[in-house]
Chain A
Amino acid sequence: MSVDEATVRRIANLARIGLREDEVAGFSRELSQILGFVEQLDELDTSGVTPLTSAVETVIKRREDGVTDGGIREQILANAPLEDDGYFAVPKVVE
């Protein structure tokens, strides 16, 4: 399966990574290569095999309800590139 340039642009858009025009061809080639490599998996018959999402074999811990966090606004905003009156400031979104 090759990843053509239109697909590269679509994926880059989904991932919000701006690509220069001169980069598209290179990524198309590399991604096609990688996909070609991983497609080896098609050789295997995996029908009926349950996917393994996590190597962890345990039951999820049940955290109790209660306010134990928050109230740390200075920490939350400490690394903000731009903040205003307690808010994160970003370029305007047009809805």
Chain B
Amino acid sequence: MSSLIDLTLAESRDGLQKKAFSSHELTQAHIQNMENSRALNAVVLETPEQALKMAQLSDDKIAKGKAGPLEGIPIGVKDLFCTKGVRTTACSNILGEFTPTYESTVTSQLWQAGAVMLGKLNNDEFAMGSSNETSRFGPVINPWKSDGMDLVPGGSSGGSSAAVAAQIGVGATATDTGGSIRQPAAFTGCVGLKPTYGRCSRWGIVAFASSLDQAGPIARNVQDTAIMLQHMAGHDAKDTTSIDTPVPDYESALTGDIRGLRVGIPREYRVDGMPSEIEALWQQGIEWMKSAGAEIVDVSLPHTKYALPAYYIIAPAEASSNLARYDGLRYGARVEGNSLDEMYEATRAAGFGDEVKRRIMIGTYVLSAGYYDAYYVKALQVRRLIANDFHEAYKKCDVLLSPTTPSAAFPVGSNHDDPLTMYLNDVFTVTANLAGLPAISVPAGLDAKGLPLGLQLIGPAFEEQLLLRAAQAIETAAEFNAQPTTWWLNNE
């Protein structure tokens, strides 16, 4: 039975279709693995009963020949997505035992397609972090280890990436605001895709930074990622920023043919002090693309180094406003006070962790009187320059190739001295969020310690098909089939 969890999403789909096994069997296998893998702390709320109920309904549908495209496929859901009747916390104390009476659009679509929910997955509190160490439920441990140390799985979607890497479900929903899908995917040897801004609906997803957040899949390979994206994407009238453009067939875009593809190498991504392994991997990626018939183009994105500071003005600014609704009045964990203001202050002091407080305060500061022009407007102007950089670059190339992260996964607890060191994890990823462009991370190799490293591709708006096709070329060439040893399993 345990071999069922080894099947990819596509293989599971085929197996169910051919009736090689039932969704009940498949789901049960994943539930078992989920229960055995608690040492990872990837799952904050297991929903086995619901999963089995959904699996039963799926089996009925399959029997009647009415299977949906994801019928019976077990996946995990980042605890940022509101799930009807199932506690949703954004991994923050402030939401207490909040149980939404509504379902996010993205997860609705997945359930509509027949998918089965295994549980809610861990993340950095309110999606703010790059290591999943700020969660109310404690840190997630990366399935990959080195030197016997616990490593972070990346963040904020650390639970999603760890779950996928540990084969808890065949895929997971996640969100990316500054790299929160791609960086954890890279740290855990998975594929993670952040779609074009507006491709997926944000309705029902706890908002962090409205103009940067995007939902996307983390999965084991490019094909699985394409399949999941297919059913996450789409216009939603309830989200004004969601774009009304048809969702193409992503899976069929995986032709494997990238001959003539112009791959841009942005020279500014070669940052000072970049570890040689990362540089080497990048070079390797360039060679792979060349061998597959792509044309390599040297491009410049001159304002790259300003992306991170611009991001750390814009994202906190929007977050400071988006998180104002968490006040203990209508939902969540209220801390009483003798007056309304006392209640607000006590509730938010107790409910928010330090990183969230920092970002709310930075955001409040940069928007405040006297600083708005100097910081917020300035950052938005820089954002325009960064978007223009990409626009110019795409006149000379079709996709951009870079490393995903400046390092492999680092030990839990190693970056607590100052927030800035943590922020630097996002240096290669934030640009795509600022410009609203789609980007994907593909596992490309292992570092000297045997830890996974990812390569990132960034594409033009709404060119996810192109992106996936290019990503598949890397995947094919890299032949990344390393797996972590399953040290975490508790098989009692």
Contact = CB atoms under 8 A, between A and B. Distances in A.
Is chain B in direct contact with chain A in the complex (CB below 8 A)? yes
Interface of A: 3, 7-8, 11-12, 14-20, 27, 30-31, 33-35, 37-44, 46, 49-56, 58, 60-61, 63, 72, 75-76, 78-82, 88, 90-94
A90 to B, nearest CB: 6
A78 B383 contact: no
B339 A14 contact: no
B13 interface: no
B165 to A, nearest CB: 30
B164 interface: no
7 contacts: A7-B365, A11-B361, A17-B361, A18-B349, A27-B358, A31-B362, A91-B342
A72 B102 CA distance: 12
Given A50-B384, A91-B337, A41 B362 contact: no
B360 interface: yes
Interface stretch (B186-194, B290-298, B374-382): B374-382
Contacts of A82: 334
Contacts of A19: 349
Given A18-B348, A90-B329, A52 B384 contact: yes
Contacts of B349: 17-20
B479 interface: no
B425 to A, nearest CB: 14
Given A30-B419, A75-B101, A52 B243 contact: no
A3 to B, nearest CB: 7
Max chain B CB contacts within 10 Å: which of A33, A35, A40, A55? A55
A51 B309 contact: no
A35 B101 contact: no
Contact of B381 (A39, A46, A60, A92): A46
Contact of A46 (B243, B320, B382): B382
A93 to B, nearest CB: 5
B306 interface: yes
Interface string B316-339: 000010001001111111101111
Contact of B383 (A52, A72, A79): A52
B331 A79 contact: yes
A51 B383 CA distance: 7
A34 B419 CA distance: 8
A46 B375 CA distance: 12
Contacts of B387: 52, 55
A16 B341 contact: yes
A70 to B, nearest CB: 14
Given A52-B380, A56-B198, A40 B306 contact: yes
A51 to B, nearest CB: 3
Nearest to B328: A81
Given A38-B313, A81-B328, A94-B339, 6 more contacts: A16-B348, A17-B349, A33-B419, A40-B305, A49-B384, A50-B381
B270 interface: no
B364 A41 contact: no
Which secondary structure dominates where chain B touches chain A?
helix
B385 interface: yes
B25 interface: no
Contacts of A15: 320, 324, 348, 360-361, 364
Contacts of B447: none
A38 B312 contact: yes
B357 A27 contact: yes
B98 interface: yes
Nearest to A34: B362
A35 to B, nearest CB: 7
A45 B357 CA distance: 31
Contacts of A41: 306, 309-310, 313, 375, 378-379, 382
B419 A90 contact: no
B272 interface: no
A86 B110 CA distance: 35
Given A16-B345, A31-B362, A37 B310 contact: no
A56 B330 contact: no
A37 to B, nearest CB: 6
Contacts of B341: 16
B309 A90 contact: no
Nearest to B241: A56
Contacts of A52: 380-381, 383-384, 387
Contact of A17 (B244, B334, B348): B348
B360 A49 contact: no
B204 interface: no
B243 A58 contact: yes
Interface in B237-296: 237, 240-241, 243-244
A60 B98 CA distance: 32
A53 B382 CA distance: 11
B476 interface: no
A44 B303 contact: yes
B380 A51 contact: yes
B205 interface: no
Contact of B368 (A8, A11, A33, A93): A11
A16 to B, nearest CB: 4
B147 interface: no
